[in-house]
Chain A
Amino acid sequence: MAKLVLNCTVNGEPAEVLVQPWDTLLDALRERMGLTGPKEGCGTGDCGACTVHLDGKPIASCLLLAMQARGHVVLTIEGLGRPGALHPLQDAFVRHGVPQCGFCIPGVLMAAAALLTENPHPTEEEIRYGIAGSLCRCTGYTKMLAAITETAGAAAGRRS
C-alpha cells in the first residue's frame, strides 16, 4: 500500500514524513522522525508513557493515527526544553531526583506541563489527577508531586 505524506509541525519545526496509513503518531515520531522520548508502554492509552501535546493538549500518541496529526502542532519531550535551557518542570524533576527507571518521565512531564499551562495554581488533588493518566511502575509519585508543586509555587512567586 502506498505511503502517505504527513505534514505537521513538530517541536516548532515544519515536518514532512512518509507514513503508513496504519502508523500511529507514536510510530511516526519514534520510527520516522527519531524522536524516542515518547515511549510505548501499553499501546492502549492506559499508561501515559506516549503522552505528547497536540495543539497544546496532552494526548496518548499511541491512540492517534499519524495522519490524524496532519496540519496540527505536535510537541514532544524533546521540544519541551533543551540541554542548558530546561523547562522549569524538567529542572525540578532533576533536582528532586524524580526519575528512577525513567520510562514514564517524558509522559509525566508532558502531562504536568499541560496541567500547569491550563491551571497555573493547581491544588494537590488537581496535580494528582493531572498526572493520573501516567503510570509509574517505580511508584515515584511522591517526588513527582513535590517537583510539580514546587514548580507551580515558583511560578506563582515570580508573578507576585
Chain B
Amino acid sequence: MRRFELILPESVDDCVRALAQRGPETKLLAGGTDLLPQLKNGLLKPARVIDLSGVARLRAIEPADGQGLRIGSAVTARTLELDNIVRARYLSLAESGALVGSVQVRNLATLGGNLCNAAPSADMAPPLLALDAEAVITGPKGERRVPIAAFFTGVRHTVLAPDELLVELVVPTPAPHSGGNYLRHTPRRELDIAVVGVASQLTLANGVCTKARIALAAVAPVPVRATAAEQSLEGQPVTPDRIARAADLALEVARPISDQRGSAEFRRHLVRVLTRRTLITALARASA
C-alpha cells in the first residue's frame, strides 16, 4: 500500500481540528471496506488518513433530544442488522444493514461510510430517505443538519465540505401503525451490490394511509424519493390497485443506466416489482 500519515483522534473535536489543519489530501477512515481497496489499488493516494475508530461518539446509538434516535456515523452494518431498537423502529434500515457484504464485511462497514461514499446503489440510503432522517454534520464553523434527501449531490458527491465530518443520523420515531421494508435485487445474496434497491414506509390511521415514503437506489445519480408515487397513496386506504399504480408512478423519477449489473429496461422493471413488494410488506407491518 502507498505510504500515508495516520492520525488517530479520540474525539469529534480532535477530528475536526485535524481535518482543518491538514487540509486536502486527507481521507477519513471509518470501516475501511471501501477505502482500503482504493488505497491498495492506487485509486486514492491521500497523504494523510484520519482513523475514526477511536471516537466513541461516532459508534453510539442513543435517544435524540425530543423524539427519535441518533445513530453514530461509525455504527456498523452488523449493529444496524442486530440492534433491538433499530429493528423495532426502523426495520427497513436493519434490513439494509443485513444485506451489505458478508458478515466479515458487515462487522467493519459503517453507516457513515455507506452514505459518504455516495454510491447511487448505497443500501442504507433508501431506508433513511423513507424515514425522513437528518444528517448531523460538523466542521470548523460548527454543527449543521441536512435532511438526508439533500445530502447526496451526485455520483460519489455529498454536501460535505472537505473540512466537515458526518457525525450521526437523527431518525424520527415513526408514528404508531407504521411499517417499512427494504428490498434490493442482486444476482446473489452475499457480497453483491444492488441492481436496484427500494425502501417503502407507510403510516396508517383508521385504515387510511396518512404518510407514504418510497425511495429508490441505483436508478439515478443519487438515491431518490418517488414523491408522485407517495402522494398517490396518501389520504386513502392502501389497496392492491393503488399499490400497482404507485409502482408505476415510482418509475417517473427512475433514470437508470445500463451497465454490467443490468440494463436500464431491467432496472425499470425492478423498480415496479420492488416498489410493489416493499409496499405490500410495509402495509402488512403497519397493519400488524
Contacts and interface: CB of A to CB of B under 8 A. Distances in A.
Interface in B17-63: 29, 31-33, 36-37, 39-40, 49, 51, 53-54
A41 B37 CA distance: 13
Contact of A45 (B29, B39, B105, B189): B105
B173 interface: no
Name which of A4, A22, A63, A114 has the most chain B CB atoms within 10 A of its CB. Answer: A63
Contacts of B29: 65, 68
Interface residues of B, number: 30
Contact of A58 (B4, B104, B190): B104
A53 to B, nearest CB: 9
B104 A67 contact: no
Nearest to A71: B54
A45 B33 contact: yes
B208 to A, nearest CB: 38
A37 interface: no
A43 B32 CA distance: 12
A21 to B, nearest CB: 4
Contacts of A65: 6, 29, 32, 36, 49, 51
Contacts of B3: 1, 20-22
Interface in B175-194: 189-191
B34 to A, nearest CB: 9
Contact of B107 (A21, A58, A62, A70): A58
Given A46-B191, A57-B78, A22 B108 contact: no
Given A132-B191, A133-B101, A63 B32 contact: yes
Contacts of A62: 36
Interface in A32-69: 43-46, 48, 51, 54, 57-60, 62-65, 67-68
Given A4-B6, A132-B190, A133-B190, A58 B32 contact: no
Contacts of B191: 46, 132-133
Nearest to A2: B5
B103 A58 contact: yes
Contacts of B53: 68
Contacts of B190: 129, 132-133
B189 A132 contact: yes
Best-buried of A22, A58, A111, A129 by chain B (most CB within 10 Å) = A22
Contacts of B64: none
A63 B5 contact: no
Interface in A13-28: 20-22, 24
A23 B107 CA distance: 19
A63 B6 contact: no
B88 interface: no
A54 B40 contact: no
B9 to A, nearest CB: 12
A43 B36 CA distance: 9
A59 B32 CA distance: 11
17 contacts: A21-B49, A22-B1, A24-B1, A45-B101, A45-B104, A48-B104, A51-B104, A54-B107, A57-B107, A58-B107, A60-B33, A60-B108, A63-B108, A65-B6, A111-B103, A130-B103, A134-B102
Interface of B: 1-6, 8, 29, 31-33, 36-37, 39-40, 49, 51, 53-54, 78, 101-105, 107-108, 189-191
Given A24-B36, A67-B8, A67-B51, 12 more contacts: A1-B5, A21-B3, A22-B1, A22-B3, A22-B39, A45-B37, A60-B104, A63-B37, A63-B108, A65-B51, A68-B29, A133-B101
